[in-house]
Amino acid sequence: MTQKLTILDIAKLAGVGKSTVSRVLTNDPKVKPATREKVEQVIRESGYVPSKSAQAMRGGSAKVVGIILSRLDSPSENKAVSGILDVIYQAGYDAVIMESQFSADKTNEHLAVLQKRNVDGVIVFGFSGCDLSSIENLGHKAVVIASDTDTISSVDYDHQGLIELAMDKLVSNGKQAISYIGVDESDRTTGLLRLNAYLERCRKLGIEPRYQTGQLSYDSAYHITDQVLGAGTEAIVCASDTLAMGVAKRLQELGRTDIQVSGVGATDLLSFLFPNTFSIDPGYFEAGKVSAQLLIKQLSGQKYITHLIQQASY
C-alpha cells in the first residue's frame, strides 16, 4: 500500500519549510513566484491532494459549496441540484447539501453551520417567508434560486411564461373551457405568480376562469380536482407536474378521458403514467447550472448583483 503524502513530505521534496507549502496552498501572494512554481511542481508530480478541511482551517479555500434546498423529495429541486453539481464538480468544488423544509429558522441554522465550516459559497432555494437578511450577509458568496430577490443574485423561473405556454397550446388544440389547479397564493412564485398568469390569460383569451388552489402535493390536487370540473370542462392547467399527477388520477377514476391535463416540470413520470398529458419545461437542470456558474463567477471576483430568468419551453 502506498503511504499518503503529508504537507511535511512536500516541504522536504521541494526543499522549503512546511509553512511555505501552507502559504502556497492558500494562495498567499507573499510567496516568491519561483518558490511557488517549485512547490506546485512537486505537488503535481507527487499527486499530493491537500485535505480540504485542513486547507479551510488554514484560512484558504475549502473548495466547498453549500446547497440548501427546500425539499429532498422535490423532483424540480432534484433536477436543479443535478445541474448545480455538474458545474461545481467540474470546477473542483465539493457540495454539502442541506434541507430547509421551507423553514426560515432551519435555513438560518444551516447557513450558520456552513459559515463555520468556511464553505466558499452557498446556493439557497428561496421560498416565501425565507429570511433573506442572513443570506444577504454573505454578499457575493450567495446565489438564490427558484425565487427573485433585489439584494442577492438570483436565478428564477419564468412563472408567467410557463402558464401562458400551456394555455396557448390548449387553445391551439381547440380548447376553450380551461380550468386551473394551483398552489395557495401565500406561495409567491408557484402559487401567486402562476395563478395570476392563468387569470390574465383567461382575460386576454375571453375564457371564463375556474380555479382552485391547495398544497404542493399530488394528494392535495387529487382532492380539489372536482371543484374545477363542469360538464363542459375541456382542459385543466396545473401549476406543477406533481399536481398534474393528482388531477390526472382523479379524472381517470371519473372516466373523464375528454379532459386534457397540462403540468409544469417535464418529468418523465407524468408522461409515463399519463401519456395524454403534456408538460411545460421550466429548465430546472439548466437553471441549476446557471446558478452555479454565477456563484463561481462571484467567487472569482464578480461583485455586482445579477438577476436571471430561466426561459420556459415546450
Ligand X SMILES: O=P(O)(O)OC[C@H]1O[C@H](O[C@H]2O[C@H](CO)[C@@H](O)[C@H](O)[C@H]2O)[C@H](O)[C@@H](O)[C@@H]1O
Where do contacts with ligand X occur on this chain (CB under 6 A)?
A: 70, 74-77, 125-128, 146-147, 157, 183, 187, 189-190, 216, 240-242, 264-265, 282
Q: What is the C-alpha radius of gyration for the chain, rounded to an integer number of angstroms?
A: 25
Q: Which is nearer to ligand X, 120 or 187 (CB)?
A: 187
Of residues 53, 64, 50, the one with CA closest to residue 18: 50
Extended strands (E) in 36-161: 64-69, 94-99, 121-125, 142-145, 153-157
> Whose Cβ is closer to ligand X: residue 6's or residue 160's?
160
> What is the closest distance, in whole angstroms, from the C-beta atom of residue 229 to ligand X in the complex?
22
119 vs 287, beta carbon nearer ligand X: 287
Residue placing its CB nearer to ligand X in the complex, 23 or 79: 79
**265 touches 74 (CB < 8 A):** no
Count CA atoms closer than 13 A to 211's CA, side-chain side: 24
Query: Within its chain, how far is the Cα of 268 from the centroid?
Result: 18
Kindly give, in sequence order, each residue whose CB lies less than 8 Å from that of residue 78, ignoring residues fewer than 6 positions away. none
C-alpha cell at 59: 484560512
Report the distance separating Cα 130 and Cα 280, nearest Å: 27
- Shortest distance, CB of residue 76 to ligand X, whole angstroms? 3
Nearer to ligand X, 42 or 216 (CB): 216
Smallest distance, ligand X to C-beta of residue 194, A: 8
User: Nearest distance from residue 48's CB to ligand X, in Å?
Assistant: 39
- Least distance (Å) between residue 217 CB and ligand X: 8
